[in-house]
Amino acid sequence: MADKIATRQSYGRALVELGALRQDIVVLDADLSGSTMTKEFAKVYPERFFNAGIAEANMYGMAAGLAVSGKTVFASTFAIFAAGRAFEIIRNSIGYTGANVKICATHAGLTVGEDGASHQAIEDLALMRTIPGMTVLNPADDVSARKLLQAAAEWNGPVYVRLGRAAVPVIYAEETDIQIGKAVTLRDGKDCTIIATGLLVSRAMEAAELLAEEGIDVRVLDMHTLKPMDEGAVIRAARETGSIVTAEEHTVIGGLGAAVAQICCEKAPAKVSFVGIQDTFGESGKPDELLEKYGLTAAAIAEAVRTVK
Amino acid sequence: MNKQALQDKAALIRQHIIREVYHAGSGHPGGSLSATDIMTVLYFHEMNIDGNDPSNPNRDRFVLSKGHASPVLYACLAEAGFFPKEDLVTFRKLGSCLQGHPSMLKLCGVEMSTGSLGQGFSASVGMALAGRLDGRDSRIYVMLGDGELQEGITWEASMAAAHYGLDNLCAIVDHNGLQIDGKNDDVMRVMPIAEKFRAFGWNVIELDGHDLDAIAAGFRKAGKHKGAPTVLVAETHKGKGVSFMEDQAGWHGKAPDREQAEQAMAELGGIL
């Protein structure tokens, strides 16, 4: 059984490491530093940590001001308040200015769990994808989260990083090369491709195992970068395996599936099936119960493959 | 710059505003004219800026949070040598660096892209934090409209500025009492402005926003105040300097026709 670590924990660790290397890094939070794990940075570098209080709009406005003054800013809160509540501030003050702000949003998706629908951001990737120049990352595990956060710090311009509350299996070896904009082929196959992102990557691997027992040979891609998306990997998947199943802990409107389908429609027609949250809000429950109820399981992904291939 | 020179400069800025808006066929003359005297003192007396050295890290920085008053900002930047004055007539036209609302990526001298009200104020708080982190003694100035105070984010920003004791930050409220739909008092009361900022922990200075001496003195006092940010609550008249625009909400966001523009220019001592 693989170790399980929440990507917000990876974030806390990555920030402390980055803070030691880079004096220009400043961290902001909106009264959730104990949950987003920015408290780890605050403990070591209190002079470079600013709590904005429960005021997400102003936090992202301040982040923009710090960034245009030369700072590399990591600004965190729950995804619903970052991508949702502060959307227009992020669009105008960070996106439109190209400000060097890393919007590291934790507690994304249904797996927030018991807090319920008000706190379950299931549309954040769609919202962030629409902002010109915004890079959108959704790491699947601890290793890729830390590597992508490091890459985000080196990336000049706004980046949205989706992080989770729930512990997820570690799927990568520490030395794995993970780069922004480059999908990772976790498993090769010829019958169908599962393109997964974030928390559903490990479930996509489980689905591939299930299907292998039936003699169905699937490719699995970790699409950790939703924007700019690795078009080549999508086109190859469409041409070489003929069909694609996308899997995301996100509404099927405007997220990974929509982006993949757009590429397929324009450049490499293939059948695409979408595993994601249908047009509905979530509810309170344990993370695994919610994933089961809303169809975000290895079994659901495997069933989509059987149907579409 | 002495008082007479500042007065002449303010008149010139007002003429530029009318020309910009007239040639664009749209824009916001009312709130540009109300802010002109304050902006003139800032750009030609108070701030440490240089159009030939726009990225000097030790420069003072100005953010026009009421971004719709872009005509007055562009007029000041042009007069301060950031770009050629001839470009002012391209305001709001396709391909121009002079966007309807200021864009920092398009025009040198614009410190922050603004237009969506309240956000420039928020950014100025971040800029003041950065200045303090870097140990710079430069100052951050931010201009807000009074209607803009209706945006919730302005109070989030003012809370943060006071909480962090940002005495390198100076806000100016251009209090002309009017907004697009009419009087602030009728649309959504913002008064009492000074008391609100005091309650939020700011150093408050109330002054006549068309009295150049008073404005300069206000900035001097703000620069000396330690431990808290300062706000100048400036009493102004919308459309100041053009008789038919003064105190008229209707001139918030409307361009004059040729006859009106010629009359305005005559009143301001210029020609269209």
Give contacts of A64 with chain B, Cβ < 8 Å.
Answer: 112, 119, 122-123, 126
Domains held by chain B: number: 1
**Residues of the domain holding B238:** 3-267
Work out the minimum CA distance from B4 to partner chain A, whole angstroms: 35
Residue B189 lies in a domain: yes
Residue A85 lies in a domain: yes
What is the b/e burial string over A98-110, where b = at least 16 CB atoms within 10 angstroms of the residue's CB?
A: bbbbbbbbbbbbb
Residue A103 lies in a domain: yes
Do A161 and A195 belong to one domain? no
The domain boundary, picked from A125, A144, A169, lies at: A169
ipTM of the complex: 0.97
pLDDT tens digit at each of 272 positions of chain B: 899 999 999 999 999 999 999 999 999 999 999 999 999 999 999 999 999 999 999 999 999 999 999 999 999 999 999 999 999 999 999 999 999 999 999 999 999 999 999 999 999 999 999 999 999 999 999 999 999 999 999 999 999 999 999 999 999 999 999 999 999 999 999 999 999 999 999 999 999 999 999 999 999 999 999 999 999 999 999 999 999 999 999 999 999 999 999 999 999 999 99
Taking any CB pair shorter than 8 Å as contact, residues of chain B touching chain A are 57, 103-105, 111-113, 115-116, 118-119, 121-131, 133-134, 152-153, 156-157, 159-160, 163-164
| CA atoms of A125 and A109, how far apart (whole Å) | 10
* Confidence band for A2, pLDDT divided at 50, 70 and 90: confident
Average pLDDT, chain B: 97
Do A21 and A133 belong to one domain? yes
Answer whether A97 sits within 8 Å of B113, measured CB to CB: yes
A9: CATH: 3.40.50.970
State the DSSP string of chain A: ---EEEHHHHHHHHHHHHHHH-TTEEEEESS-HHHHSTHHHHHH-GGGEEE--S-HHHHHHHHHHHHHTT-EEEEEEEHIIIIIITHHHIIIIIITTT--EEEEEESBSGGGGGG-GGG-BSSHHHHHHTSTT-EEE---SHHHHHHHHHHHHHSSS-EEEE--SSEEE--S-TT----TT--EEEE--SSEEEEE-TTHHHHHHHHHHHHHHTT--EEEEE--EEES--HHHHHHHHHHHSEEEEEEEEESSSSHHHHHHHHHHHHS--EEEEEEE-SS---SS-HHHHHHHTT-SHHHHHHHHHHH-
Domains held by chain A: number: 2
Work out the minimum CA distance from B65 to partner chain A, whole angstroms: 11
Angle, helices A231-241 vs A256-267, to 10°: value is 70
Residue B108 lies in a domain: yes
Do A129 and A227 belong to one domain? no
Q: If contacts are CB pairs under 8 Å, which of residues 48-107 in chain A contact chain B?
A: 48, 50, 52-53, 55, 57-58, 60-71, 88-89, 92-93, 96-98
Answer whether A64 sits within 8 Å of B128, measured CB to CB: no
Do A54 and A139 belong to one domain? yes
**Residues of the domain holding A253:** 184-308
Do A38 and A105 belong to one domain? yes
Catalytic residue numbers of A read 56
Do A152 and A36 belong to one domain? yes
The domain boundary, picked from A103, A135, A169, lies at: A169
B137: CATH: 3.40.50.970
The domain boundary, picked from A169, A201, A236, lies at: A169
| pLDDT tens digits, one per residue of B16-34 | 999 999 999 999 999 999 9
Residue A179 lies in a domain: no
Give contacts of A92 with chain B, Cβ < 8 Å.
Answer: 113, 115-116, 119
pLDDT of res. B1: 86
Work out the minimum CA distance from B250 to partner chain A, whole angstroms: 27
Average pLDDT, chain A: 98
| pLDDT tens digits, one per residue of A60-113 | 999 999 999 999 999 999 999 999 999 999 999 999 999 999 999 999 999 999
Q: If contacts are CB pairs under 8 Å, which of residues 11-50 in chain A contact chain B?
A: 26, 47-48, 50
Residue B155 lies in a domain: yes
Indicate whether A1 pLDDT > 90: no
| pLDDT tens digits, one per residue of B62-85 | 999 999 999 999 999 999 999 999
Do A164 and A200 belong to one domain? no
Answer whether A64 sits within 8 Å of B115, measured CB to CB: no
Do A142 and A203 belong to one domain? no
pLDDT of res. A116: 97
Residue A175 lies in a domain: no
Question: How large a percentage of chain B has pLDDT more than 90?
Answer: 99
| CA atoms of B269 and B30, how far apart (whole Å) | 18
Do A278 and A202 belong to one domain? yes
Residue B272 lies in a domain: no
